[in-house]
Amino acid sequence: MTVLVTGASGLLGGAVARVLAARGDDVRTLQRRPSGVPGARDVAGSVTDAAAVAGALDGVDAVVHLAARVSLAGPREEFDAVNIGGTTTLLDAAERAGVRRFVQVSSPSVAHGGSSLVGVGAEPADPAHARGDYARTKAAAELLALDRDRAADGGLAVVAVRPHLVWGPGDTQLVERVLDRASRGRLPLLDQGAALIDTTYVDNAADGIVAALDRADAPEVHGNAYVLTNGEPRTVADLLAGICRAGGVRPPAWRVPARLARAAGGVVEAVWRLRPGTDEPPMTRFLAEQLSTAHWFDQRATRADLRWTPAVTLDEGFERLAAHYGGARA
């Protein structure tokens, strides 16, 4: 099978491409910089470039779409252009090219309205109530993708997969930021850090996405969305401590009331819009909500329909993360 993976220069996209290449698929990647995946053929370009997308899809059987504008802040139009416009461009070209399977890699944030999510499944994506431009545009993109599902008529089979808080060695989005802020004493626990949340070790997330690709045209799968996690909810305090210990950094111990953090996040967002920093803002309302509300998910439908179970436990993941850092931060 010839598979196009977008966003393969990122942690999860690269892991997906490596799994596909290792099992013998003909892997093509599309992103703005080299993927570094052995055996994959890189195509330089953006999902917003219709010509580049059309060229990358020539002769492709299936698509795994991970490329996205991922940030807590930034110009609204950039999120719209990449996450909505890029997905539309890719779907249009995939249909013209005769692609048969399409995996839209989404996010549980598409159904998060600010309150706790406790033991739920993949609730409907809701752009109108999503928190922030990333969640809003990913929700819109997921709905656009699922609306293209034509598997019942012998056409394109579409499935959406929502991996939750993916982490592992080499992760710059979550792990490195946790370690950096903790090392500088800038990582508080909101309230007591007692909110129970799910995360996903990167190898498990990659295997789950590949399982969705393989099952995309199954009657019980196509047209649906699935949340993907390790299925091992831990408190925020436990998860942050595990990452910090693996990286040789003292875990956070100081606490801030969640209500105060949310208010501060609103102020930071307003300042960031006027004077953007060079990195992610230290706090936003969305981030405060994520660190202070429960969000863990029922995995029964995901595992049954995709015929997948995670192979790496969280504790094994922390051990691998510690081996990656090798005590260099201690």
Catalytic residue among 134, 201, 226, 325: 134
In angstroms, the CA 183 to CA 193 distance is 18
Q: What is the DSSP string of 227-277?
A: EE--S--EEHHHHHHHHHHHTT-PPP--EE-HHHHHHHHHHHHHHHHHS--
Give 67-71 contacts, CB < 8 A, sequence gap 24+. 67/6, 67/7, 67/13, 67/30, 67/31, 68/7, 68/105, 68/134, 68/138, 68/141, 69/134, 69/137, 70/134, 70/173, 71/134, 71/280
Verify whether residue 134 is a known catalytic residue. Answer: yes
Tokens for 105, please give them.
Answer: 């890699």
Question: Cβ distance 177 to 124 under 8 Å?
Answer: no
- Calpha distance 50→243 (Å, rounded): 40
- Sign of the Cα pseudo-torsion (233, 238, 244, 246, in order): negative
Question: Which of these, 240, 248, 241, lies nearest to 325 by C-alpha position?
Answer: 248
Dmax (CA) of the chain: 58
Compute the C-alpha angle 114/179/318, nearest 5°. Answer: 90
Q: Could you give the residue numbers annotated as active site?
A: 134
